[in-house]
Structure 1
Amino acid sequence: MRDVVRYIVFVTYQIYHEYPVPAYMEYPVLIAQDTILLLLILHYNGNLRQSVIYSALGWQLLTLQKWIIDLAMSLCTFISAGSKFAQLQCLWESKDSSHISALSWTISSYTCLARIFTTIMTTGDLQVMARFIVLTILNGWVTVTVLYYRQGCKKLD
């Protein structure tokens, strides 16, 4: 659910500022996938009707004014960063990265780096670039932490 909200906020931000479609084209596909998954989960949990009503109200609120969209974008960056810090905290406490994919975190870092480049080339939006710079740094930090603890586990064996 959290990812769907972040995607919707990001796409709404891009559309509101009239950025070119290639700057955000992958997000509608991701939103569609997450939405289908979320609807199936809600359907089987019996919460579908309530969720659809809240989603419609949230979408209307989000598209009302520029400052709401900008604030939502900033909050999504904050939430994304918070989830990465939570992952780091769990790694530091457990000192075990055997169940975490370093490849996935590397791909996330690379994706954010690519988005920095495409943002510079297409829109130059500082808020979007700041988002991807923060996420690149944190994804890289998680990757390095995963690899560090993975090497520590091999030395103990």
Structure 2
Amino acid sequence: MADLIKKGALLLMNQKCYDNYFLEHNFFDVPCFKALLSKGLGLGIIAGSVLVKVPQVMKILQNKSGEGINLFGVMLDLLAITFHMSYNFMHGYPFSSWGDNTFLALQTVAIAALVLFFAGRKPHAFIFLLAYATLLYVLNSGLTSMKVLLTIQSCNIPILLVGKLSQAMTNYKAGSTGQLSAATVIMMFAGSLARIFTSIQETGDTMIIVTFVASTFANGVILAQLLYYWNKPAAGAAAAKSKSKKPKTKKDD
């Protein structure tokens, strides 16, 4: 049993911290506490990421519509997630510091494909999936140099901002957040906020840290809109409802 506990503990901390906590009973070691908190947050974010965009996928499937979802923004978001994932993977950073991007990428791909599919663009959905699979292979197979990956990662900040803020602009013009899922938006904001701390603790990579600061800001804008437009229907839906309530005249008959 003791060996089992030790193996489990070493998944969350290094040998030095294990000795501090379990042998020396030094529970006030600040570096070990920060490392343990970071690792726990990282694994928690990964666990949450498995389902973070599922509510969004289910909402699209249920309504058979991607109304209100800015496809351009989704594509840019996917690129940012993919570039970040590949950059971390090829650098050999701990999975706990970036593993959530794997699941976010899969779910974002599903959202983009469904938006295309329900917009009547089925061939485009298939071509998109094929193109994305090719991109993954090129970025993660060693065909792309680390210098190029660093350049790509540096592009993530404008990509994230343009992608998220284009969705914010779509929401503003519609006067509604459309088919955006509240659960997904909230979890995306919380996850990006927590990633600032885990990135500082586990990678120390300035580029990654700044990227998550930008991501938190952009997700915060979407979250603020979600709260503001909470019970407000889209402009088109409101107009249609108003028209349906208009009293009939003889001319209408």
Paired AA for residue 55 in structure 1: L
Distance 1:57 1:147 in 2: 39
Paired AA for residue 108 in structure 1: M
**Could you tell me how far 1:22 is from its partner in structure 2?**
2.0
1:86 corresponding residue in structure 2: 166
Percent identity of the aligned residues?
20
User: Does 1:11 find its partner at 2:91?
Assistant: no
TM-score, with structure 2 as normaliser = 0.47
1:136 corresponding residue in structure 2: 216
TM-score, with structure 1 as normaliser = 0.71
* Structure 2 residues not aligned, in runs of 5+: 1-73, 117-121, 234-253
RMSD: 3.8
Give CA deviations for 1:60-83 in whole Å, capped at 9, x if unaligned.
797533331111112233222211
Distance 1:84 1:60, change over 3 A: closer
Distance 2:171 2:157 in 1: 21
User: Does 1:73 find its partner at 2:187?
Assistant: no
Distance 1:99 1:16 in 2: 35
**Could you tell me how far 1:27 is from its partner in structure 2?**
3.1
Tell me, yes or no, if the aligned pair for 1:98 and 1:150 is still in contact at 8 Å: no
Alignment of 1:36-47 (within 5 A): 45=123, 47=127
Larger fraction in helix: 1
Distance 1:133 1:69 in 2: 20
Count matched residues.
Answer: 152
Alignment of 1:1-157 (within 5 A): 2=75, 5-31=79-105, 45=123, 47=127, 51=131, 54-55=134-135, 58-59=138-139, 63-97=143-177, 99-150=179-230
Distance 1:52 1:27, change over 3 A: closer
**Could you tell me how far 1:5 is from its partner in structure 2?**
4.2
Distance 1:149 1:66 in 2: 43
Tell me, yes or no, if the aligned pair for 1:62 and 1:69 is still in contact at 8 Å: no
Distance 1:53 1:150 in 2: 36
Q: Which has the larger radius of gyration?
A: 2
Tell me, yes or no, if the aligned pair for 2:177 and 2:229 is still in contact at 8 Å: yes
Tell me, yes or no, if the aligned pair for 1:9 and 1:73 is still in contact at 8 Å: yes
**Could you tell me how far 1:23 is from its partner in structure 2?**
1.5
**Could you tell me how far 1:107 is from its partner in structure 2?**
1.2
Distance 1:105 1:28, change over 3 A: closer
Give CA deviations for 1:98-120 in whole Å, capped at 9, x if unaligned.
54333321111101011111111
* Structure 1 residues not aligned, in runs of 5+: none
**Could you tell me how far 1:56 is from its partner in structure 2?**
7.0
